[in-house]
Amino acid sequence: MTNKHVVNAIDAPETAKQANIAELDINIKVNYQQFTLAIDLSIPLTGITGIFGHSASGKSTLLRAIAGLEKSLLGSITLTNNALASNTLVNTEQGYYLKPEHRQVGLVFQNSRLFGHLSVFGNLEYAVKRCKNSQLNLNEIIELTELSNLLAHRVDELSGGQQQRVALARAILAEPKLLLLDEPLSALDQHSKSQLLKMMLTIQKRLNLPMLYVSHSLAELQQVCDNLLVLAKGKVVNFGNIHQVIHQFNRYKENDIIEHQTSLSLPIKAINAHHGLTTLVLNDKQDIYLASDEDFQQQTYLRCFILASDISISLTEPSNSSIVNHLLGTINAISHRDNSVLLTVQCGTQDFFVTISAFSQQRLSLSIKQPVYLQFKAGAVRTFIH
């Protein structure tokens, strides 16, 4: 198999091996009658990596292959901890297959099967007993998954969100080197989703546990993922830093999966409680204003995105406008789509994506290399809380 996708293929000069980061080397084919998954990819095991794609693109099949649940797999999967230690999970050429229970890979599904007749504590205790040489502190995991008040409850009496927290705790207590999450939030309401996303982030950081997280929701992935893998029809279409992958999708004419947007992670410069505005540093000359949220107090940087349809263009600096954000930039790409035009405007080193009508583009005679002002309201900058 060729065209191996490497870490942040887009701009990272260093591979995970060079940086001594654990890595999952995948070179596999899974053949079904009507579908083939063919992946040749090295995934650096840092933070949370999102796996995104249309239905039936092969996301769950990939996770099942890593977990050891795919019988019809050909190829190899190796978990490399550092330059010196690697752990082959499967290598069909060598006739090697490590059983799922020996892979040190945890799995949380949409409907994780718990022991319904046992209490929450009983379920967690079972996981601890199965894990030899347990290093984790059970109380810490109970605290991280906010289960202290539920320990005596039978799990079949819990809500979906509570059950998923038990499933998460149980998976972690098996002390995996890698945690796979397959649509763990899809059956939950918005409140439980936010709670679990925050929990996943905290757990990832506190335990330094790498996660691969499959979701249909780009918004969920944007809240927690550092890297994004996009699959289509069983193949990798893109992999790398999540912001860069989203920006590359903006540029694909055939993109039918990601809404055109500018995706950013920026440091917080100031929180102006009086005006309810927060300032983010875009570069040494330009800031971005957005509406404050009390949770920003605990943050040093924010992930945010601005839809391309929420930004407009002005040829002169809008000095008498109520719109707080105006950034000077240079048009470096113009792409026509039906009656609209997608502009890429560079401000400092950051690309912004702007959709305007073809009518406006003609009226303003916009062309490549032209300086323009971007304008967007503070409310157009959408954020996620960590």
Q: Which position has the token pair 């205790």?
A: 125
Residue among 55 and 367 whose Cβ is closer to ligand ATP: 55
Residue among 66 and 264 whose Cβ is closer to ligand ATP: 66
Query: 16 vs 22, 86, 226, 251, 275, CA distance in Å?
Result: 7, 13, 14, 27, 44
Please, what is the minimum distance in Å from the beta carbon of residue 61 to ligand ATP? 3
Please, what is the minimum distance in Å from the beta carbon of residue 230 to ligand ATP? 11
Cα separation, 302 vs 288, in Å, equals 11
Q: Is there a contact between 169 and 191 (Cβ–Cβ < 8 Å)? A: no
Please, what is the minimum distance in Å from the beta carbon of residue 35 to ligand ATP? 4
Please, what is the minimum distance in Å from the beta carbon of residue 227 to ligand ATP? 18
Residue among 22 and 43 whose Cβ is closer to ligand ATP: 43
How many CB atoms sit inside 10 A of residue 361's CB? 18
Q: Which position has the token pair 């929180």?
A: 271
Give the DSSP letter string of 80-138.
Answer: E-SSS-EEEEEEGGGTEE--GGGS-EEEE-TT----TTSBHHHHHHHHHHHSTT--S-H
Residue among 58 and 329 whose Cβ is closer to ligand ATP: 58
Cα separation, 357 vs 62, in Å, equals 40
Residue among 22 and 214 whose Cβ is closer to ligand ATP: 214
Residue among 70 and 310 whose Cβ is closer to ligand ATP: 70
Please, what is the minimum distance in Å from the beta carbon of residue 183 to ligand ATP? 7
Cα separation, 173 vs 272, in Å, equals 42
Q: Which residues bind ligand ATP (CB under 6 A)?
A: 32, 35, 53, 55-61, 216
Residue among 123 and 164 whose Cβ is closer to ligand ATP: 164
Please, what is the minimum distance in Å from the beta carbon of residue 237 to ligand ATP? 13
Please, what is the minimum distance in Å from the beta carbon of residue 324 to ligand ATP? 39
Cα separation, 154 vs 176, in Å, equals 25
